[in-house]
Amino acid sequence: MRTQMKALEQVTSWLIGQLATLEELLQFLRLQKLFVNSDNSKISSGQVENMRQFCSYLGVAAPERFTLAPPNSVAILLHWKILLVISARLHKDEHNFWRSAYPLLEGYDAEPDDEEMVFPKIPVAVDSHLHPDRLACKAALSAECTLYEVLNAGLVRAEQRVQVKGGVAVYCNPETYSTVDKMATFPKIIPVVVGVHP
């Protein structure tokens, strides 16, 4: 379990930043929206057991049911589909280092037996001016909703999908400013700006 944790911490530092946590990596993957509900049926009992052990190792509660859509536990980061997405986001040198420094554990196959995973090419995007408060209002969500709920509120057509690489959350109306505690939960790839329109 220690090796798996170290491997995940390494890619977290590359993708998000040196001081980022596994929880932030999980949030980063949630924002990608690459998985659909049917993916949740593709978690084997062996994978579930491994994820439960990882939760125990980390000292965190395991959910009753692990899901890929949306990823609901840091332990789901061990699922091969998640690892494939993470691997695809690395630069070639990082990928090669990751594979050599953290080789496949004994008893694991390099490729899944029963299916071939094919991900469409999805463009990367940065939302340079995101208004979480206004989006929540338009989506008829409560003021207490999370950024994750705001970003997942609407349906996105396949041809409009993007991988969210980052963004800037902007609050410009004092009446709808978020709380400091709530803004502290935003992933580091989405800094927050607070001000007023003249």
Instruction: Give me the chain's average pLDDT, please.
Output: 81
The number of C-alpha atoms within 13 Å of 196 and in the hemisphere containing its C-beta is: 3
SS3 63: coil
Say how far apart CA 58 and CA 52 lie, in whole Å.
10
Is the peptide bond prior to 191 cis by the omega test (within 30 degrees of 0)?
no
pLDDT in tens, 75-106: 999 988 888 888 888 888 888 888 888 776 55
Edge-to-edge, what's the strand order for the sheet holding 124-130?
124-130, 163-171, 192-194
